[in-house]
Amino acid sequence: MSQSEYALLEDLDRRHVVHPITEFRVHEEKGPRLILGGKGVRVDTADGRSVIDGFSGLYNINVGHGRTEIAEAVSAQMKRLAYYPAFWGYSTEPAIRLAERLATLFPADRNISRFLFTTGGSDANEMNFRLARFYHASNGQTERCKVLSRRSGYHGVTCAAGSATGLPAYHVFADVSPVHHHVAAPNCLRCEYGNTSSDCAMECVEDVEAVIQREGPETVSAVITEPILGSGGIIMPPEGSLQRLQEICHTHGILLILDEVVTGFGRTGKWFGMEHFDLSPDLVSFAKGINSGYLPLGGCALSDKVYETIRDKGPQGFPFLGGLTYNNHASSCAAALANLDIVEREGLVENAREMGDYMIGCLRDNLGSHPFVKEIRGLGLMAAVEFTKPGTLEPVGGLPMAFTTSVSEHCWKRGAIARAMWETMSLAPPLCINRTELDELIDILTQSVHDAAAAFPEG
Ligand code: PLP
């Protein structure tokens, strides 16, 4: 395609395409960033550049771009049978093979062996809330309908998942449904109780107990959390806090839903985030890394306790009415199988662990002493550098995201995509990244921080 054809496409985008997380009027002024292709950790832009994808798209392109074996697996499946519904017991080979494979990937002692596939993370959470309710109803506890989730947590934007999302910006024009309740964020840097990690009494977790008592334990169905709060700014859980959360759930017969949409499938250097924190959730939501975004796919993993209760005690003649047209989609599942082959064959979970340690080390070396850097944190190949006006918790420049947006713009100009997430710059490159590519990415981020800082001399 010629430059004039790209310009035409960009103009058509301005006129006809609606982009989420994008201000319409700004988009019409600036136009799209047209991505033409990709290979490994890089994407090709319409202005002829090859840019490092430092956030794996949206935390999801774990095996990198341009994996022809996934395309071939999908093509073969589509030629045989692209799709058939999963309702009323219909099934397809890729869905069966994928479910069986996941049963071996989840840690053996967690008793997780049944899977329902969705189209992404939001609907995985929606389904898990329905499953939790159905589980309690099967036990005769129909009044258990409330869901607790954490401030700064992100669980999607559909109705129930959106209500569970605890980031205030998402509720400006979208009310929290009355059965959803937000509890304290487990954020040590910005502790809601004014504590520091040395005098932490884990009040954020005890807030879960307090809200359960306030609402009545017999009315609470589930607590949902991410192991690491991803979209909240890669917020690491206070030591021991997730186990305490799990204990609170167990005490009250409340289900723990672990949202592993970001942390699943190797991102943290283990297959699942639950392995770092010794968790045994009742339900797990996953998406993204399961097939690296080559086709839409997410899903719910059911513990044997939940599955068997519904199977053995569920109302007779009344099926689980949580069906989506695209549940257990054959082609998306075929993409997942090919994706998991790559992850295993290339040792990408181990690579995420090794490269993740290297990435955090380099970030600390390069940026640790910058006056605007408040904290550098992460696990595996997900890391955040948080910036504040020196000596405060205020945003650099006084305006939310003014500095980080500027850093992200500089990165783009210099040849890398890094995500401005609130007051952090976040990196989550494909799990196949190597040292040389990481050096380049971190170098670009470092230079971009210096570029942006020049425009904020006061901090
Ligand atoms: N849960 C978490 C932890 C996420 O990060 C996301 C998306 O980023 C979702 C759920 C929602 O997933 P989706 O955008 O596929 O609906």
Minimum-distance ligand 1 atom for the alpha carbon of 287:
15
**Are residues 416 and 451 in contact, defined by beta-carbon separation less than 8 angstroms?**
no
CB 221 within 8 A of CB 254: yes
Cα 149 to ligand 1 centroid, rounded to whole Å = 14
Name the band, by pLDDT with cuts 50, 70 and 90, for residue 145: very high
Q: What is the pTM of this model?
A: 0.98
**Which residue(s) pair with 257 in the sheet?**
224, 283
Kind and range of the H or E element at 36?
A: strand 35-39
Counting Cβ atoms within 10 Å, is residue 107 exposed (0-12), middle (13-18) or buried (19+)? middle
Position 459 in a domain: no
Average pLDDT of the segment spanning 151-168: 98
Residue carrying the six token digits 């670009």: 444
Q: Is the dihedral of CA 415, 418, 423, 424 positive or negative?
A: negative
Instruction: Judge if the beta carbon of residue 121 lies within 6 A of ligand 1.
Output: yes
Q: Is 23 contained in some domain?
A: no
Residue 303 domain flag: yes
**384-399 average pLDDT score:** 97
pLDDT at position 453: 98
Q: What is the pLDDT of residue 197?
A: 77
Residue 210 alpha carbon to ligand 1 centre in Å: 27
In a mutational test of the pocket of ligand 1, which residue from 262, 263, 300 has the highest number of ligand atoms less than 8 Å from its CB? 262
Domain boundary among 345, 373, 394: 345
- What CATH number is attached to the domain comprising 188? 3.40.640.10
Q: Rounded to an integer, what distance in angstroms lies between the CA atom of residue 24 and that of residue 443?
A: 32
Listed in sequence order, the residues at least 6 apart from 349 whose beta carbon sits closer than 8 Å to its beta carbon are: 266, 269, 270, 271, 343, 431
Q: Evaluate if residue 324 carries a pLDDT over 80.
A: yes
Q: Are 171 and 151 in contact (CB under 8 A)?
A: no
* Residue that is last in its domain, among 345, 372, 392: 345
Contact 188/204 with Cβ under 8 angstroms?
no
The CB-side HSE value for 279 (13 A sphere, CA atoms) comes to 31
Reading the block at residue 50, the tokens are 């090859």
Task: Please report the pLDDT score of residue 458 as a whole number.
Answer: 85
Number of structural domains found in the chain: 2
**Beta carbon of 226 within 6 Å of any ligand 1 atom:** yes
160/264 same-domain check = yes
Centre of ligand 1 from the C-alpha of residue 122, in Å: 6
pLDDT given for residue 441 in this prediction: 98
Same domain, 366 and 376: yes
Question: Which residue, of 345, 373, 390, is where some domain finishes?
Answer: 345
122 within ligand 1 shell (Cβ under 6 A): yes
How far is residue 94's CA from residue 336's CA, in Å, rounded to a whole number? 9
For 422, phi then psi, to 5°, come to: 55, -125
Q: At 306, is the secondary structure helix, strand, or coil?
A: helix
Say if residue 106 is in the same domain as residue 123: yes
Q: Which domain holds residue 406?
A: 33-63+347-453
pLDDT of residue 459: 87
Q: What pLDDT is recorded for position 199?
A: 87
Residues 6+ apart with CB under 8 A from 258: 224, 225, 226, 227, 273, 274, 279, 281, 283, 284, 285
**Residue 230 near ligand 1, beta carbon < 6 Å:** yes
Phi, psi dihedrals of residue 328, rounded to the nearest 5°: 55, 40
- Whether 376 maps to a domain, the answer reads yes
pLDDT at 22: 96
- Please work out whether the CB of residue 330 comes within 6 Å of at least one atom of ligand 1: no
pLDDT digits (tens, 9 = 90+) for 184-238: 999 999 999 999 878 899 999 999 999 999 999 999 999 999 999 999 999 999 9
Q: How far is CA 26 from the centre of its chain?
A: 26
Mean per-residue pLDDT for 161-173? 97
What mean pLDDT comes out for the span 290-299?
Answer: 98
Q: Are residues 369 and 227 in the same domain?
A: no
d(CA 325, CA 39): 32
Query: Does residue 352 share a domain with residue 247?
Result: no
**What's the chain's length in residues?**
459
Q: 168 with 191, same domain? A: yes
Check whether residue 357 and residue 373 sit in a common domain. Answer: yes
Whether residues 51 and 138 fall in one domain: no
What residue has token string 């334990």?
217
For residue 39 the two structure tokens come to 């290979």
Identify whether residues 316 and 352 lie together within a single domain: no
DSSP assignment letter at 173: S
| Average pLDDT of the chain, as a whole number | 97
Are 273 and 332 members of one domain? yes
Same domain, 144 and 240: yes
For residue 311, tell me if it sits in a domain: yes
Within a domain: 15: no
Name the residue of 21, 55, 128, 155 whose CB sits within 8 Å of the most ligand 1 atoms, as the mutation to test its pocket.
Answer: 155
Strands 416-417 and 419-421, bridge-based pairing: unpaired
pLDDT digits (tens, 9 = 90+) for 399-437: 999 999 999 999 999 999 999 999 999 999 999 999 999
54-63: pLDDT as tens digits: 999 999 999 9
Residues 37 and 173 reside in one and the same domain: no
Helix residue spans in 17-139 (DSSP H): 24-30, 56-59, 68-81, 93-105, 121-138
Mean pLDDT, residues 317-328: 95
**Region of 89 on the Ramachandran plot (φ > 0 left; ψ -120 to 50 alpha; else beta):** left
pLDDT-derived band at 319, boundaries 50, 70, 90: very high
* Residue 5 placed within a domain: no
Beta carbons within 10 angstroms of residue 83's beta carbon: 15
Three-class secondary structure of residue 133 per DSSP: helix
| Distance of alpha carbon 354 from alpha carbon 357, whole angstroms | 5
The Cα–Cα gap between 236 and 152 comes to 12
CATH code, domain with 56:
3.90.1150.10
Tell how far the Cα of 165 is from the centroid of ligand 1, in angstroms: 10
Mean pLDDT of 85-98: 98
For residue 21, tell me if it sits in a domain: no
